[in-house]
Amino acid sequence: MRTGRVARAGAAQAVSTAPPSLDCIRQWMERQFKPAQVSVLESTPQRVCYRVEQGFPSPTLYVPKDVLAAHPAAAIIAALDHHHVAARLRSNPVAHLICVTSHEGIGVVRCDR
């Protein structure tokens, strides 16, 4: 019985160590694509994948971990709004977009995976 408590405590700790920006961006994506769910996957060690679960094809947004580390979630979400990411993904369900950082701030470009 004690082992179960430790396992649950460990699981809670693992969830709480995820950067809050991951969940904020997922929530933004879910608001944009309601009622679809959005899954958050680590597609590579360098980036996180946000996939809209609406069947095939699924629009996808990649956010590099260096962008997540360098910018607060609010700034990333503001850039997603500014670059009309939701509309771009809705208009092309096979689209894959990626956030990039430039001297002008956060941009969003087409990703060839």
pLDDT in tens, 15-33: 334 566 788 999 999 999 8
Please state the domain extents for the chain: 18-110
Please return the burial class of 16, using the count of CB atoms within 10 Å of its CB with bins 0-12, 13-18 and 19+. exposed
The label of the residue with tokens 């950082």 reads 101
Residue 99 pLDDT greater than 90, yes or no: yes
Pairing of strands 96-102, 60-64: parallel
Q: 24-28, 40-44, 50-54, 61-65: lowest mean pLDDT where?
A: 40-44
Rounded Cα distance, 113 and 97, in Å: 9
* pLDDT computed for residue 84 by the predictor: 95
* pLDDT computed for residue 9 by the predictor: 38
Over residues 25-54, the mean pLDDT reads 86
